[in-house]
Amino acid sequence: MDCPAITAEAASKARTAILLVWTVWLAMGWAVKGQELTCPAEPASGKENWENLVDAGRKLRDQSRYPAAEQCLNAAVSLTREFGDTDPRYAQSLEALAGVVQIRGRYQEAESLFQKGLAIWQVYPGKDRLDLAVGLSNLANLLRMEGQYPEAERLQLQALDIVHAALPPDSPVVLQTLYGLGAIQALRGQCAQAVVTFQNVLATQRKVLGPDDPMVAKTLSDLGHVYYTTGRYQEAESSYRRAIAIREKALGPNDVEVGITLNKLAALQRVVGFASEAERLWKRAVRIWETALGSDHPLLAAGLNNLGMLYNDQGKISEAEDLFRRALKIQEKSLGAEHPDVARVLNNLAGVYFQRGQYREAEDTYRRVLAIHEKKLGPEHYDVARTWNNLAKTYVAQSRYADAEFLYIRALALQEKTLGRTHPEVATTLVNYADLLNKTRRKAEARKLVSRARQIELQSGREQAREYTVSFPDLRK
């Protein structure tokens, strides 16, 4: 049997049909895409419209499209305000908006939005008071980022009481609240407690959420940071690398959270002596943050500070100073003058003064750093000890040996108490103290300290860090 001949008319019909299907498919694609990526037009009123706006805002946030998300959630807030100042839907919109404003680095504005929402949850705490617990935990997380650790801890513990009473211990809400507590413990320098908290959270998250969930990566990243702080560099590195792999796979290679762990891994690489790898990682983190968050976000300030630190190590003092000042300028706007991170950048700037021989400027700046750290972190935090060590070095440079010795002894005692006797930071203070002892002709004592420092160095896996190591022939005498 012959095939029917394809006439010109039939071919034309077929082409039209294909074109039609193609057009419909494209239109459907645009419609779906549009629904995912844009904020619905602001409706006059109504429950469904409000829910659409909040959903769209959250989706946009998850796609890292923060300005559009903010616009959408602002519309939701405007709409729900009409339901009354104490309506839970208003609280929900306020919290969603606060979350995006927080991501964009405008912490004070976010705090006021979270506070407004929380005031409503105090009146309508939700089933088993869980809405109130989530509100408390959200605010606690923000206060942690603002450097207000005691208040953050108080709220997080309050939230934890509520969720523990209402939910099983492996509920994601319980785990998230516990994670928040661990993060505060880490920042307050309570490293042993933080490790226990994070390890417990991690074990349960892996069981409940699976090993590749982004929440697992978040906990791994912060647990790695505590390992890094306590000198457990190998464990830190494997935690960071696992966290990066999970985040890259789940969120994409250019997500803000990927940048956060890259930044931590870079700091570790610097400490163990791989400066060029650290630079590569920091530059990648800065690129990610600048693209996703703009040029005035506190995370960008962190990246600039860290690159500055690296340049400082390499003796590029002017480049370093420029980056520290840029970081400070960004921080002034978003964090205020008394944030612990502002003090950290000031400390680094003081290091620039020190290296230029501007000891009075260095001393004044270190004193400012100490005042902030003692107020915000408490007098028992190891960061205070590091600043004592730096201030003491400035005194030595001015031949004020008695003042310096007093600070070295205090710094050593505090570091040994908070970080342990074999932490690399202790080695740094020991060798600086030895330098002072050597200058004041107590060479036998100096030799003992340097020998102890060397032992710590050898044990810490930091021997590759040759750039920090210099022979000290004077001690042979």
Residue ranges binding other proteins (CB under 8 A): 225, 228, 260, 263-264, 266-268, 270, 299, 301-302, 305-306, 309, 312-315, 327, 341, 344-345, 347-348, 350-351, 354-355, 357, 362, 383, 386, 389-390, 393-394, 397, 425, 427-428, 431-432, 434-435, 447, 450-451, 453-454, 457, 466-476
Contact partners, residue 257, CB within 8 Å, separation at least 6: 214, 217, 218, 221, 247, 251
CB 239 within 8 A of CB 227: yes
| Beta carbon nearer to other proteins, 36 or 467 | 467
Which residue reads 């559009």 in tokens? 68
Element housing 159 (H / E): helix 149-166
CB 65 within 8 A of CB 37: yes
| Beta carbon nearer to other proteins, 86 or 291 | 291
CB of 461 to other proteins, least distance (A): 15
CB of 246 to other proteins, least distance (A): 18
CB 242 within 8 A of CB 248: no
| Beta carbon nearer to other proteins, 176 or 305 | 305
Smallest CA-to-CA distance from 297 within 80, 48, 110 is with 110
- Record the tokens describing residue 423, joined without a space: 């932490």
CB of 348 to other proteins, least distance (A): 5
| Beta carbon nearer to other proteins, 39 or 384 | 384
Torsion sign over Cα 175, 178, 184, 190: negative
| Beta carbon nearer to other proteins, 55 or 313 | 313
| Beta carbon nearer to other proteins, 79 or 352 | 352
Element housing 169 (H / E): none
Q: Measured between alpha carbons, how far is 170 from 173 in angstroms, rounded to an integer?
A: 8
CB of 446 to other proteins, least distance (A): 9
| Beta carbon nearer to other proteins, 90 or 354 | 354
* Cβ neighbours, 10 Å, residue 19: 10
Q: Measured between alpha carbons, how far is 401 from 226 in angstroms, rounded to an integer?
A: 34
| Beta carbon nearer to other proteins, 260 or 412 | 260
Q: How deeply is 453 buried, as exposed, middle or buried, from its count of CB atoms within 10 A (0-12, 13-18, 19+)? A: buried
CB of 67 to other proteins, least distance (A): 23
DSSP 8-state secondary structure symbol assigned to residue 5: P
Reported as half-sphere exposure (CB side, CA atoms, 13 A), residue 385 has a value of: 25
DSSP 8-state secondary structure symbol assigned to residue 315: T
CB of 165 to other proteins, least distance (A): 34
Contact partners, residue 409, CB within 8 Å, separation at least 6: 433
Q: Measured between alpha carbons, how far is 382 from 107 in angstroms, rounded to an integer?
A: 26
| Beta carbon nearer to other proteins, 169 or 379 | 379
CB 100 within 8 A of CB 66: yes
The pair phi, psi for residue 306, each rounded to 5°, is: -70, -40
CB of 307 to other proteins, least distance (A): 10
| Beta carbon nearer to other proteins, 176 or 429 | 429
CB of 225 to other proteins, least distance (A): 7
CB 109 within 8 A of CB 102: no
CB of 74 to other proteins, least distance (A): 28
| Beta carbon nearer to other proteins, 57 or 351 | 351
CB of 451 to other proteins, least distance (A): 6
Reported as half-sphere exposure (CB side, CA atoms, 13 A), residue 233 has a value of: 18
CB 140 within 8 A of CB 179: no
Contact partners, residue 275, CB within 8 Å, separation at least 6: 269, 310, 313, 314, 467
CB of 351 to other proteins, least distance (A): 5
